[in-house]
Amino acid sequence: MKCDVCGAKIETTFLQKVLGTYIRNEKGKKKLVCSQCQKNGRIKELK
């Protein structure tokens, strides 16, 4: 899995849970964002 904003690799836990957040953009597409991009507010760049 990788971040849809910065392209960084996102690790998954042994329960297959991603260490990031799924968000939906305006078109309803599911995007994965790493915690770093969340902190930086770069989620906006997906829209």
Per-residue CA distances from 11 to 7, 26, 27, 35 (Å): 12, 26, 26, 11
6 binds Zn ion (CB under 5 A): yes
Question: Least CB distance from residue 15 to Zn ion, whole Å?
Answer: 21
Q: Where are the alpha helices (DSSP H) in 1-47?
A: 35-40
Minimal CB distance to Zn ion: which residue?
Answer: 3
5 binds Zn ion (CB under 5 A): yes
Q: 3-state DSSP call for residue 40?
A: helix
For Zn ion (CB under 5 A), the number of binding residues is 6
Q: Where do contacts with Zn ion occur on this chain (CB under 5 A)?
A: 3, 5-6, 8, 34, 37
